[in-house]
Structure 1
């Protein structure tokens, strides 16, 4: 009989929270390099709140669920590998979390624990906070998502549901990942306008996009499939209409090869740090009850820029 491989549960001690009025967590593994705790601490300090978010580098779901039940816990950020696994343990989820099939934020609604997905808001606000004329740039035009990983569904949802893109081009080296995205999004009610663009020749015949979300690491294309996907990107960037591209990859540098191609082609570049910042601000909107206009947006932008600059030294 074949032996089953044992799964090691990684747990960590509960942080000391007695000195705080409220507290939350960042639940995931690994999370050593996450900017989330310093990001949120900047907000709480600016608002004069005696709050903190604690990193919880763990795969121990039972321990986490015990910790968040503390009445002083306002909720938690949730990252890999728990974004999908956490959903059955929640009392409810928002339409965004349901549509994307992943939860990155837990907040309290009375005695209930509710999950949402603020990654979709991070994509949306990256464009609306940086593009001066959305009607001219991307409203009513096709959008495009480069890549087929976990961030792709959030990007598709934002383009379709929030940004008025009737069609979304999917540009990915792996047809199986594209098929999975189309199947999921169609079942969730926002996949009718998805188009897999598999060749440069097909791209040449298409209307140019107005908003692009790039969700791939900053590696040069090596395989034939990667080279074809890059050629699709280049053809669509070279269309006469010049829009805005959100480059989600920002580590170790936000100035990626794709960003350089887009800049050379005349596109507006939106750095991935914008998506990180606005998804985090949306989390604090749930946790603090403050609207975006009441949160210290410029202050957290400066803190994130400073932390990334230190990381590159």
Structure 2
């Protein structure tokens, strides 16, 4: 897999010949990309469609470099990850509604105009990943009892939490949305930003065990925190609050967004032990990636190799588990 890195301000291309041999190329633009399954996912799509395309890891936060690279005529688009999801937005010509409302871009695609100009457009497919994780894994006949018209819970306070709130509010028919996080200021920021963008109604910061005990149990949970045991008092409190909500009599489905280094997390195990349906974070990865390839290839989801993508990700997970 080709990789682009920056070293002391100079551009170093590993396997640079690959760009020349490819018909089209894109990037995974961010940092700490070694464990990302994004290039694997898209390589399955391109192989199955017979496309001589590749997504190249660009391990960098150098925006000027990235903006130069995307001018290449063979560039088809990019996955944008931390820490570049917000900083890329001012440099884009157009944003989708989801990208504008969430305030973060994880997908860059190109729109070619009849006069030969190319517009660089931003989308947010993370929200689609959250939505489809529930829709594809909870039968439609059960959705009304599992999560629709029930409160929801989002654990965390970062960009993924904002995407989760958006999807729960826009498509999954959540009523109130509980927010549990170790840092109150992060929760305040989520509430303020979501409210400003029009989807902050019914957000409730659950800050104590006593408060959690009085609440109606959630139907959908989206966990957006790393998989490590709570250490600080704030982290331990957030875990106790989460456990109270997991123990509510009426259960539902939990999407565990964390899949690195493994999608089988401590929090997921706790939920499963309490009787919840646990949806692995690789599901969100797969469905947001499929949405990206709809932008890049112009194909519909029904034309993309979903079965082969699932098989490829499962094989990689098995490899990671063995190691």
Q: What TM-score comes out, normalization by structure 2 length?
A: 0.91
Inter-CA distance 167–233: structure 2 relative to 1 (3 Å threshold): same
Counterparts of 1:120 and 1:279 in 2: how far apart (Å)?
Answer: 8
Contact 2:286/2:309 (CA < 8 Å) preserved in 1? yes
Q: State the partner residue of 1:253.
A: 262
C-alpha distance in structure 2 between counterparts of 1:99 and 1:270, whole Å: 25
**For the residues of structure 1 that align with 2:318 and 2:10, how far apart are their CA atoms?**
31
2:137 aligned counterpart, secondary structure:
coil
Report the alpha carbon displacement of residue 105 of structure 1 after superposing the two structures with TM: 0.6
Match of 1:101 in 2: 103
Could you say what secondary structure the match of 2:105 adopts? coil
> Which residues of structure 1 form unaligned runs of 5+?
1-7
Per-residue deviation at 1:9? Answer: 5.0
Distance, in Å, in 2 between the alignment partners of 1:190 and 1:207 is 21
What secondary structure, in the 3-state scheme, does the structure 1 residue paired with 2:316 have? helix
Q: Deviations over 1:115-155 (max 9, x none)?
A: 01111111111110000121121111111101112211111
Match of 2:162, SS? helix
What's the secondary structure of 2:262's corresponding residue?
A: coil
Cα deviation per residue 1:72-114 (whole Å; 9 max; x = unaligned)? 2111111112111111110011111111111111001222110
2:184 counterpart residue number: 175
Tell me which of 15, 20, 23 is aligned to 2:22.
20
Aligned to 1:197: 206
The two structures, once aligned, show a CA RMSD in angstroms of 1.5
Alignment of 1:131-150 (within 5 A): 131-132=138-139, 133-150=142-159
Cα distance in 1, alignment partners of residues 11 and 131 from structure 2: 35
> Could you tell me which residue of structure 2 aligns to residue 45 of structure 1?
47
Q: Secondary structure at the match of 2:178?
A: strand
Give a deviation string over 1:6-62, Cα, whole Å, max 9, x none. Answer: xx7574338332322222111112322222112101101101112111112223222
Q: Aligned partners of 1:72, 1:226: CA distance in 2, in Å?
A: 46
- Structure 2, unaligned runs of 5 or more: 1-7, 113-117
Q: Where does residue 3 of structure 2 map in the other structure?
A: none
Aligned-partner Cα distance in 2 for 1:253–1:59: 25
Match of 2:125 among 118, 122, 137: 118
Task: Report what 2:173 is aligned to.
Answer: 164
1:4 is matched with: none
Q: Which residue of 1 aligns with 2:4?
A: none
Provide the rounded CA distance (Å) in 1 between the counterparts of 2:181 and 2:144.
27
Assess if the C-alpha contact under 8 Å between 2:35 and 2:260 holds in 1.
Answer: no
Per-residue CA deviation, residues 239-264 of structure 1 (Å, 9 max, x unaligned), is 12110000111222222221111111
Alignment-derived partner of residue 293 in structure 1: 302
For 2:291 and 2:10, how far apart are their aligned partners in 1?
A: 29
Match of 2:88 in 1: 86
Cα distance in structure 2, aligned partners of 1:19 and 1:67:
17
